């Protein structure tokens, strides 16, 4: 079974702190994603990566950055946490589709359990 793990289930940080959220997947997936989930807004894509050292902005990248130094690990960084970044953060991974040209996301994404971040 695919396993996607996230470093913390619950995290409380102060405004202005630098926050690192770590995600690791064990299935050698090429693609990794970071989402945030908020009531009434559903899941929104922050950043994704389709290869080591590659990253693409999602729908709401402002205030976030990411790092993918190894294939299995994708980190989300809040440079200076703010209260409006209080949310549930979900990491996901997927293989690349087998169609030609490769279509990144025409395959299932596997999600981690989430990190509930509170910024006070």
Contacting residue, 14, 59, 80, 120, with another protein by CB under 8 A: 59
Residues in Cβ contact with 110 at an 8 Å cutoff, skipping those fewer than 6 apart:
2, 4, 25, 27, 29, 92, 93, 94
The residue whose two tokens read 């945030």 is 36
Q: Are 25 and 113 in contact (CB under 8 A)?
A: no
Phi and psi angles of residue 83, each rounded to the nearest 5 degrees, phi first:
-60, -30
Q: Using the rule CB under 8 A, give the single segment among 14-22, 39-47, 60-68, 71-79 that binds another protein.
A: 39-47
Given 31, 75, 85, 87, the residue binding another protein (CB under 8 A)? 31
User: Which positions from 67 to 96 touch another protein by CB under 8 A, shown as an x/- string?
Assistant: -----------------------x-x----
The angle formed by the CA atoms of residues 105, 108 and 113, to the nearest 5 degrees, is 115
Nearer to another protein, 19 or 90 (CB): 90
Considering beta carbons, is residue 77 or 88 the nearer one to another protein?
Answer: 88
Using only C-alpha atoms, the chain has a radius of gyration, in whole angstroms, of 14
CB of 33 to another protein, least distance (A): 8
Query: Can you give the binding site for another protein, defined by CB under 8 A?
Result: 4, 31, 33, 40-45, 48, 50, 56, 58-59, 90, 92, 103-106, 108-114
């Amino acid at each position: 079974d695919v396993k996607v793990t996230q470093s913390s289930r619950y995290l409380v940080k102060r405004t202005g702190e630098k926050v690192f959220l770590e995600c690791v997947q064990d299935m050698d997936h090429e693609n990794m994603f970071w989402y945030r989930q908020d009531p009434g807004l559903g899941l929104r894509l922050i950043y994704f990566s389709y290869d080591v050292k590659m990253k693409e902005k999602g729908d709401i990248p402002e205030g976030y950055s990411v790092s993918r130094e190894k294939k299995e690990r994708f980190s989300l960084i809040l440079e200076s946490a703010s209260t409006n970044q209080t949310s549930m953060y979900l990491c996901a991974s997927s293989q690349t589709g087998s169609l030609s040209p490769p279509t990144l996301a025409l395959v299932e994404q596997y999600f981690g359990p989430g990190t509930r971040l509170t910024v006070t």
